Chains A and B, each alone.
Chain A
Amino acid sequence: MKKRTLSILLFASLGGFAQNPAPAGPQARAIALTGATIHVGNGQVISNGTIVFDKGVITAVGNGETPTNGAEVISVAGKHIYPGLISPAATVGLQEFESVRATIDYQETGSFNPNVRALIAYNTDSEIIPTIRNNGLLMTQAMPDGGFISGSSSIMNTDGWNWEDAVLKADDGLWLSWPGYFARSFDYDTFAVSLKKNEQRQDAINAMMATFSDARAYADLKNPAPKNLKFEAMKGLFDGSKCLYIRANYGKDIIEAIKFAKQAGVRKPVIVGAEDAGRVIDFLKENSVPVILGPMHRLPNLQDEDVYLPYKLPGMLQKAGVLVSLSYNGEWWRTRNLPFQAGTAAGFSGIDKEEALKMITSNTARIMGIDNVVGTLEKGKYATLVVSKGDLLDMRTNVIEHAYIQGRHINLDDKHKRLFHMYREKYGQPDIGK
């Protein structure tokens, strides 16, 4: 008995302090959340709404009259229900401490790595993950970086015992870094960074085109011998089963990258970063190419630019009919502020909050090809959703009270809360806030 207590204590002290909470078990019984304002994610808002889900899937969404059919009814009156937010182009799970090389796993050596898979390095035990969940992020795209083709990304749920368990969609796309029209150069005399025309660009594009042509020809082979793992990984680009996420910012680069992708036979190109997308709106629309914007929390690139341009850009694109999603391109812990980027878009670019919400839910799901299962709160989709005290897009009210991933009720504990409570108790302070 004594021995057992000791082991429990030991376990508790480890589990209670150093580790993330255990992943949630499968949904045991049907649940109905009632009395909430439901933000569907497609622009629609249902006040005093009810959402019912069972076995991880939404079975009904509607107003207060919606039948709950024997589900466990949980009143969340006055609260707001949102689809779980999707964070694209992130390194969450792939890095822990930026300055500690041993904890960094998003960049492989070499420049042509279509076959490496970010999924494999995704660490479900990262202490970052529970902290982003607490701001509503229930899915994150594990993205490789570096080189010309960095590898393939996967979309992960932010809860799971291991990567196999957490994955929502494996290998959803490949990541390509477009050779820039401008190259950065650093002057050691003045310590100034400047951009100059990239003279090696055309060579790089030619080499890429040759590689894509080879890959496309390879994709036509029934039984290729020898087997080329890199080209195997690229097959999906040509049949539309994988996206090609292209990192490009300058307007000219965006145009060239899209033209390249079309010519190379890539079916689903997506532009990522797109800081200068404002001047290629028509081109993006005509070519039906979606955009994942990089951090809005950046400064304007040009001295003479509108000081609010980064804040206005999402709305400009959305209003013009470009499919646009928001991201923290290449960041990890900071992605938890994704809902506030949507809020900023609503505050500064003349679109309403529901339109802004799309950019972190349904639009992102459509771009990634997971809109059949997530992105909106509609019947038949996964019950991946959060209940917030108030407006999810505003810091003051983004307080997640419940989170469900595929109907599994997530334990919202995280390292930050644990340390908060530890010291709060030390000082005898009240338990307020999220």
Chain B
Amino acid sequence: MRKLFLTAVLAWGIAQVGWSQVTFPRNGVYDERSGLYAFTNATIIVDSKTTLDGATLLIRNGRIEAVGKTVSIPAGTVVTDLKGKRIYPSLVDIDSDYGMPALQRNAPGGGRGAPQYDSNKKGAFNWNQAIQPETEASAVFKANVPQALELRKLGFGAVVTHPHDGIARGSSALVTLADDRENLVMIRERVSGHYSFSKGTSTQTYPNSPMGAVALLRQTYYDADWYKKAGKTAEANISLAAFNQLQSLPSVFEVPDKLGVLRADKIGEEFGVQYIIKSAGDEYQRLDEVKATGASLIVPVNFPQAFDVEDAWDADNVTLAEMKHWEMAPANPAMLAKSGIPFALTTANLRNKTDFWANLRKAIDYGLTEQQALAALTTTPAQLLKIDNEVGSLKTDLLANFIITSDNLFSPDNVILENWIRGKQYVYSDKNTPDLRGTYALTIGDRSNLKLTITGKPGKPEYQVLVDTVKVTPKISVANDLLSIQLQLDKKQPGVATPGTTRLTGYREGTSLKGEGELPDGKTVKWTAVLSQPFSMTATAKGDSAKKTAPEYGKLLFPFVGMGNLEKPKAQTLLIRNATVWTNEKDGILPTTDVLVQNGKIAQIGKNLTAPAGAQTIDGTGKHLTNGIIDEHSHIALYSINEGGQSSSAEVRMSDVVNSEDINIYRQLAGGVTTSQLLHGSANSIGGQSAIVKLKWGESPQEMMLKGADGFIKFALGENVKQSNWGDAVRIRFPQTRMGVEQVYFDHFTRAREYDNAWKAYNALSTKEKARAVPPRRDVELDALAEILNKKRFITCHSYVQSEINMLMKVADSLGFKVNTFTHILEGYKVADKMAKHGVGGSTFADWWAYKMEVKDAIPYNAALMARAGVTVSINSDDAEMARRLNQEAAKAVEYGGISEEDAWKMVTLNPAKLLHLDNKLGSIRAGKDADLVLWNNNPLAIYARPEKTIIDGTVYFDAQDEDRKHDELQKERARLIQKMLTAKAGGAQTQRPTFRRQRMFHCEDVEGAMAEGEERQAEK
């Protein structure tokens, strides 16, 4: 029995080799061939590490049968001598959309149209249209002749393709680029699972922000886990079942930029997935952080065009960062390679696929080695997606996907002659076309004063005829051994009125060319061209052999913005002497006092302190030293503000969208701000989770996050959440009244309580019981709400009118927790006594009012009235501009309501620290606290005050004295790059017109896309 089985297997194996079967009928007489080919005497690059000279490649039926120097060639093999030619594995692109259906983009509309709360995809699928794990590229794949041709010409043989649509995009398929029926083109289904932050063609309202996309994907992971364990009894869900199946495949995450790499990796960490990340080409700007993710990358080579900077003024619209990226982007692959980050290259994101080779060679000029480039296009992509047993090298049994080249693949002179795909030949340049290059003595009829030179590349020859000393460029076409020539012999001859075209037809014979032709006057002539000097590289190609020197480029900046740092600033030991020190402690304001900063902390306060060794001494005479300003309500340094897709978005985290590259970080350091609470907007009753950051200009989002801070969440009341000012189309979402807002809270907290109880009950079970029980479905939204109930997360609530302020306090009281902070709180003065009793703080504007109905009773005395009623009051910005002068806003509490200067100052330092539960380390100048300090030239509350130094954790992040130098350097770097761009344009490089990308300034109310109109005006709060 056993023997029989073995025989059967053997027989089957042989049958496979000798006789391949297919299911589909063919019209006409079968024309099956052995597909047995040998390529001899070639230089074979088996993979990026192995090159065999004078070797043979033997293929049969579309697979590689043997490769090596001593391959025996069976009878019946078609043998091709490839002496002087090279064979490479065909290239592999693993981020392709080849053969995928065209994506139906949403009709451009955006804005505040009618929302869509349910998925348009009918069936037992996920509730959200952007979650499409059930999509299988193999099922929607249709071979596409022009797309395949374009890629084959570039040397690609196979791609991993998937529809680039949605947040969970389903599985990919490995297909070849052969022109054949799909049954033969598709090599493997379900190669990898794909994910992104972009909801693609989904028309569903949720999610409408990147942090919403993160939350949705996280929830899907939890849902799928629940579905696997217990969910099937509750519902049928094709999407979750498919999602679970995807988890055994490599996971690929497409991200929009370098910080997206970090964001995706954070999700992977939570679920034990190491994503392969399709990046955007700017990773070199955050190399260390990208490397630390441990992710392998799929990297595009879409280098930006130079900008048109010919007009000196218009060119100011191009940022230094854009210019530097233009210069440095080609170095991205080399820098990744140098730092040891594994990566594959892709043609994705190229404006034109035909730019691929030019850009790749540019990357090589910038330091990527040819071996690295080849690996990134063959073995690495194949290994990353575990398809290296099919493609990526020329090893036995792999697909016979290879290219034949005239030269080193990466040489500018190289021509890709043929691309074989699964044993099928595609010819792009006839390798048998004779190399006619050389110098010939040309005779046409009785004219023998002619010289023909043929130079250029073998596949792309260049022709020139010398008529005595006059150069003429003839038109010549060569096909096999036939030639056709047109030239104007008498073009520049004086005395001839109308120079005509002489037409010659002929053929090659040995090294000579000959034939017959017709002169312009119709006379028939014979012609010959006799080789007088064979072609030699050195004779013509000047400098080609000289190794190009690597291009030079400027330095990195941290962050990658004009005002960024050449190096990340470091903490110092600082002794600030003889300053007026605003301690915010019992000591009050101390004249002529020294403060010592060590190890990022305030070490000592006193008179005549001794400077420790290595300390930098700063003269504070006549100056004021204070804590850094803490902005309780900020929206800077964020990619997005509102996830307004639902009435509750408690699941979204602003920490997912911190943008460390925002120039407003630096601008606010120049206004003395050191810490900001980055809040979700006020588009919905329950917003998202806050990020509390220190404005460490140059550090990554992760490094900016204030470690150990309590969790906060934004809530909102009033006109924004009931969408009062959003137009008549938007009247669907519950709630539309203040009555409904209360119910949103009761409803959500009731569910959160039940959820929390279910978990508590489950967690109380013994291990044995747990094994039998069904755990509750993890819900990231209810997690956040349960944290509030359990006093582990704290509310900052956008609020205006006294009725709603009172309401939320009552809701909280009835559920047994406290509201932490009301923000805006412009009618707080009307219920200040109730607020004091509840123990809630107020973070308000100094003097804003009249921008909508709910602020008609807002008064600038609000801060003073609340403070005197016993409420902890802070003054916040909600505005990137205002945050630069929060000291001035605090001073208005002195003007309106007569608050003392010391107490007014606390409203932007100690009080917000208290509201953020950070007053144990921030907010006052006391030994042991964080050294977040500002040295002012004046009383900080004076309109004339400006920061001279802004210090965070003992590190100087803004130094007024250094500003001029920084600006000079910035201008010099701009000037250098502008000159370089002008040279590039003069040299024929394509340029793009500068477009002035205005940074959007976020405020509470900004919903993605809803800000287009009236942006110039101060947006509503």
Question: Contact between B896 and A396 (Cβ–Cβ < 8 Å)?
Answer: no
Give chain A residues whose Cβ lies under 8 Å from the Cβ of B974: 304
Question: Contact between B946 and A347 (Cβ–Cβ < 8 Å)?
Answer: yes
Question: Contact between A195 and B996 (Cβ–Cβ < 8 Å)?
Answer: yes
Known: A427-B865, A427-B869. A432 touches B897 (CB 8 A): yes
6 examples of A-B residue contacts, CB within 8 angstroms: A184-B998, A191-B1009, A344-B888, A394-B942, A416-B860, A433-B894
Least CB separation from A297: chain B residue: B881
Least CB separation from B320: chain A residue: A304
Known: A307-B666, A307-B667. A433 touches B895 (CB 8 A): yes
Question: Contact between B943 and A191 (Cβ–Cβ < 8 Å)?
Answer: no
Question: Contact between A191 and B996 (Cβ–Cβ < 8 Å)?
Answer: no
Give chain A residues whose Cβ lies under 8 Å from the Cβ of B725: 99
Question: Contact between B967 and A420 (Cβ–Cβ < 8 Å)?
Answer: no
Q: Report A331-346 residues with CB < 8 Å from chain B CB.
A: 331-334, 336-337, 340, 343-344, 346
Question: Contact between B859 and A419 (Cβ–Cβ < 8 Å)?
Answer: yes
Give chain A residues whose Cβ lies under 8 Å from the Cβ of B561: 303
Least CB separation from B724: chain A residue: A99
What's the nearest-Cβ distance from chain B to residue A320, in Å?
A: 19
Question: Contact between A299 and B667 (Cβ–Cβ < 8 Å)?
Answer: yes
Interface string of A374-401 (1 = CB under 8 A from B): 0000000000000000000111111100
B829 on the A face (CB < 8 A): yes
What's the nearest-Cβ distance from chain B to residue A97, in Å?
A: 6
Q: Report A173-200 residues with CB < 8 Å from chain B CB.
A: 182, 184, 186, 188-189, 191-197
Question: Contact between A128 and B319 (Cβ–Cβ < 8 Å)?
Answer: no
A423 on the B face (CB < 8 A): yes
Question: Contact between B943 and A303 (Cβ–Cβ < 8 Å)?
Answer: no
- Give the docked Cα–Cα distance between A353 and B512 (Å): 92
A279 on the B face (CB < 8 A): yes
- Give the docked Cα–Cα distance between A194 and B996 (Å): 5
Q: Report A200-237 residues with CB < 8 Å from chain B CB.
A: none
Question: Contact between A424 and B865 (Cβ–Cβ < 8 Å)?
Answer: yes
Give chain A residues whose Cβ lies under 8 Å from the Cβ of B869: 427, 429
Give chain B residues whose Cβ lies under 8 Å from the Cβ of A64: none
**9 closest residue pairs by CB, A with B:** A432-B898, A433-B898, A343-B943, A347-B944, A195-B996, A99-B852, A304-B562, A395-B891, A420-B861
Question: Contact between B851 and A99 (Cβ–Cβ < 8 Å)?
Answer: yes
Least CB separation from B106: chain A residue: A188
B72 on the A face (CB < 8 A): no
Interface string of B544-574 (1 = CB under 8 A from A): 0000000000000000011100000000000
Least CB separation from A193: chain B residue: B998
- Give the docked Cα–Cα distance between A299 and B998 (Å): 11
- Give the docked Cα–Cα distance between A263 and B853 (Å): 46
What's the nearest-Cβ distance from chain B to residue A197, in Å?
A: 7
Known: A299-B1001, A300-B667, A333-B850. A434 touches B319 (CB 8 A): no
**Count class of interface residues, chain A:** 35 or more
B473 on the A face (CB < 8 A): no
B188 on the A face (CB < 8 A): no
A252 on the B face (CB < 8 A): yes
Question: Contact between B995 and A434 (Cβ–Cβ < 8 Å)?
Answer: no
Contact of A395 among B851, B888, B995 (CB under 8 A): B888
B1000 on the A face (CB < 8 A): yes
What's the nearest-Cβ distance from chain B to residue A17, in Å?
A: 11
- Give the docked Cα–Cα distance between A252 and B891 (Å): 39
A98 on the B face (CB < 8 A): yes
Give chain A residues whose Cβ lies under 8 Å from the Cβ of B859: 415-416, 419-420
What's the nearest-Cβ distance from chain B to residue A305, in Å?
A: 8
A260 on the B face (CB < 8 A): no
| Size of interface on B: residues with Cβ below 8 Å to A | 84
Question: Contact between A419 and B861 (Cβ–Cβ < 8 Å)?
Answer: yes
B457 on the A face (CB < 8 A): no
List the one stretch of B287-295, B329-337, B416-424, B1010-1018 in contact with chain A. Answer: B1010-1018
B880 on the A face (CB < 8 A): yes
Give chain B residues whose Cβ lies under 8 Å from the Cβ of A304: 316, 319-320, 562-563, 970, 974
Give chain A residues whose Cβ lies under 8 Å from the Cβ of B885: 297, 344
Question: Contact between A330 and B1017 (Cβ–Cβ < 8 Å)?
Answer: yes
Q: Report B790-817 residues with CB < 8 Å from chain A CB.
A: none
- Give the docked Cα–Cα distance between A316 and B630 (Å): 32
Known: A396-B901, A423-B865, A433-B898. A193 touches B944 (CB 8 A): no
Give chain B residues whose Cβ lies under 8 Å from the Cβ of A164: none
Q: Report B974-1010 residues with CB < 8 Å from chain A CB.
A: 974, 993, 995-1001, 1008-1009
B832 on the A face (CB < 8 A): yes
Q: Which residues of B contact A (CB under 8 A)?
A: 105, 108-110, 313-314, 316-317, 319-321, 561-563, 663-664, 666-667, 670, 719, 724-725, 829-830, 832-833, 847-853, 856-857, 859-861, 864-865, 868-869, 880-882, 884-885, 888, 891-892, 894-899, 901, 938, 941-946, 963, 967, 970, 974, 993, 995-1001, 1008-1009, 1011-1012, 1015, 1017-1018, 1020
What's the nearest-Cβ distance from chain B to residue A348, in Å?
A: 6
Question: Contact between B856 and A97 (Cβ–Cβ < 8 Å)?
Answer: yes
Give chain B residues whose Cβ lies under 8 Å from the Cβ of A282: none
What's the nearest-Cβ distance from chain B to residue A132, in Å?
A: 11
Contact of A423 among B829, B894, B963, B1001 (CB under 8 A): B829
- Give the docked Cα–Cα distance between A420 and B267 (Å): 50
A302 on the B face (CB < 8 A): yes
Least CB separation from B1008: chain A residue: A191
Question: Contact between A340 and B851 (Cβ–Cβ < 8 Å)?
Answer: no
Contact of A396 among B670, B942, B1008 (CB under 8 A): B942
- Give the docked Cα–Cα distance between A250 and B670 (Å): 25
Contact of B993 among A196, A340, A393, A398 (CB under 8 A): A196
Question: Contact between B670 and A307 (Cβ–Cβ < 8 Å)?
Answer: yes
A11 on the B face (CB < 8 A): no
Question: Contact between B897 and A420 (Cβ–Cβ < 8 Å)?
Answer: yes
Give chain A residues whose Cβ lies under 8 Å from the Cβ of B563: 303-304, 307
- Give the docked Cα–Cα distance between A332 and B848 (Å): 11
Contact of A193 among B852, B868, B1015 (CB under 8 A): B1015
Give chain A residues whose Cβ lies under 8 Å from the Cβ of B899: 433
What's the nearest-Cβ distance from chain B to residue A255, in Å?
A: 10
What's the nearest-Cβ distance from chain B to residue A95, in Å?
A: 8
Question: Contact between B941 and A333 (Cβ–Cβ < 8 Å)?
Answer: no
Q: Report A273-324 residues with CB < 8 Å from chain B CB.
A: 279, 297-304, 306-308
What's the nearest-Cβ distance from chain B to residue A297, in Å?
A: 6
What's the nearest-Cβ distance from chain A to residue B851, in Å?
A: 5
Known: A196-B993, A304-B319, A331-B1018. A252 touches B313 (CB 8 A): yes
What's the nearest-Cβ distance from chain A to residue B780, in Å?
A: 25
Question: Contact between A298 and B944 (Cβ–Cβ < 8 Å)?
Answer: no
A369 on the B face (CB < 8 A): no
Question: Contact between B995 and A195 (Cβ–Cβ < 8 Å)?
Answer: yes
Least CB separation from A279: chain B residue: B313
Give chain A residues whose Cβ lies under 8 Å from the Cβ of B670: 307-308
Question: Contact between B881 and A423 (Cβ–Cβ < 8 Å)?
Answer: no
Known: A337-B847, A344-B943. A197 touches B865 (CB 8 A): no
What's the nearest-Cβ distance from chain A to residue B224, in Å?
A: 30
What's the nearest-Cβ distance from chain A to residue B564, in Å?
A: 10
Known: A191-B110, A394-B943. A182 touches B996 (CB 8 A): yes
What's the nearest-Cβ distance from chain B to residue A284, in Å?
A: 16
Contact of B944 among A99, A128, A343, A417 (CB under 8 A): A343
- Give the docked Cα–Cα distance between A252 and B885 (Å): 31
- Give the docked Cα–Cα distance between A67 and B805 (Å): 58
What's the nearest-Cβ distance from chain A to residue B674, in Å?
A: 16
Give chain A residues whose Cβ lies under 8 Å from the Cβ of B894: 395-396, 433
What's the nearest-Cβ distance from chain A to residue B321, in Å?
A: 7
- Give the docked Cα–Cα distance between A337 and B664 (Å): 23
Question: Contact between B998 and A429 (Cβ–Cβ < 8 Å)?
Answer: no
Select the residue from A307, A336, A348 with max chain B CB neighbours within 10 A.
A307
Give chain A residues whose Cβ lies under 8 Å from the Cβ of B317: 182, 195, 302
Seed contacts A297-B881, A394-B942, A396-B895; 14 additional CB < 8 Å A-B pairs: A96-B850, A97-B856, A98-B850, A99-B853, A186-B1012, A191-B1012, A302-B319, A303-B319, A304-B320, A347-B938, A347-B942, A415-B859, A420-B896, A433-B896
